[in-house]
Amino acid sequence: MTDATTDATTDATAPARRHPDTARIHAFRDDSLGYDDATALAERVREGEVSPTELVEAAIERCAQVDPALGALVFTDFDRAREHARRTADSHLSSPFAGVPSAFKDAVQVEGAPMRLGSPAVPDSPALHDGDYARAFRATGLIPLGITAMPPFGWTAATERQGGLVTRNPWNTGRTSGGSSGGSAALVAAGALPIAHANDGGGSIRIPAAVTGLVGFKPSRGRHTDEKFSRGMPIPIVSQSVVSRSVRDTATFLTAFEASHLPVGVPPVGPVAPAPARRLRIGLVEQSPAGGATDAATLAVLRETAVRLAGLGHEVVPTEAPVPTGFRDDFIAYWGLLALSTSLSGRRLFDPDFDPAELDPFTIGLARMARRNIASLPLHLLRLARTRRQFDARFGDLDVYINPVVAHETPEVGYLDADLPFETHLERVSNWVTFTPLQNIAGSPAVSLPTGHAPDGMPVGVHFSARRGQDRLLLELASEYEAAHPFARIWE
> Could you read off the pLDDT of 364-415 as tens digits, one per residue?
999 999 999 999 999 999 999 999 999 999 999 999 999 999 999 999 999 9
Of the candidates 360, 320, 322, 327, the one whose C-alpha atom is nearest the C-alpha of residue 342 is 360
126 secondary structure, DSSP code = B
Q: Which pLDDT tens digit goes with each residue over 186-195?
A: 999 999 999 9
Q: pTM surpassing 0.85?
A: yes
Say which CATH topology domain 6-484 has. Answer: Amidase signature (AS) enzymes (3.90.1300)
What value does the mean pLDDT take over residues 118-144?
Answer: 96
Q: Which residue ranges make up each domain of the chain?
A: 6-484
What value does the mean pLDDT take over residues 173-183?
Answer: 98
Tell me the catalytic residues: 105, 180, 204
What value does the mean pLDDT take over residues 8-19?
Answer: 50
The whole-chain average pLDDT of the chain stands at 94
Is there a cis peptide before residue 180, judged by omega within 30 degrees of 0?
Answer: yes
Q: What was the pLDDT predicted at 35?
A: 86
228 confidence band (pLDDT: 50, 70, 90) = low
Q: What was the pLDDT predicted at 5?
A: 35
CA gap 173, 413 in Å, rounded:
8
CA gap 439, 237 in Å, rounded:
8
> Alpha helix locations (H) across 47-101?
52-70, 78-89
Least confident of 228-242, 389-403, 448-462: 228-242
Tell me how long the chain is.
492
CA gap 214, 203 in Å, rounded:
14
Q: Which pLDDT tens digit goes with each residue over 315-328?
A: 999 999 998 889 99
Q: What was the pLDDT predicted at 124?
A: 97
CA gap 362, 421 in Å, rounded:
8
CA gap 232, 337 in Å, rounded:
12
Q: Can you say whether residue 174 is alpha, beta or left, with left for phi > 0 and alpha for psi between -120 and 50 degrees? A: alpha
What value does the mean pLDDT take over residues 419-437?
Answer: 97
11 confidence band (pLDDT: 50, 70, 90) = very low
Check pLDDT > 70 for residue 352: yes
Check pLDDT > 60 for residue 22: no
CA gap 346, 480 in Å, rounded:
44
Percent of the chain exceeding pLDDT 70 equals 94
Contact predicate 297/455, CB 8 Å: yes
Of the candidates 405, 408, 407, 425, the one whose C-alpha atom is nearest the C-alpha of residue 416 is 425
More confident residue, 6 or 248: 248
255 secondary structure, DSSP code = H
CA gap 335, 350 in Å, rounded:
18
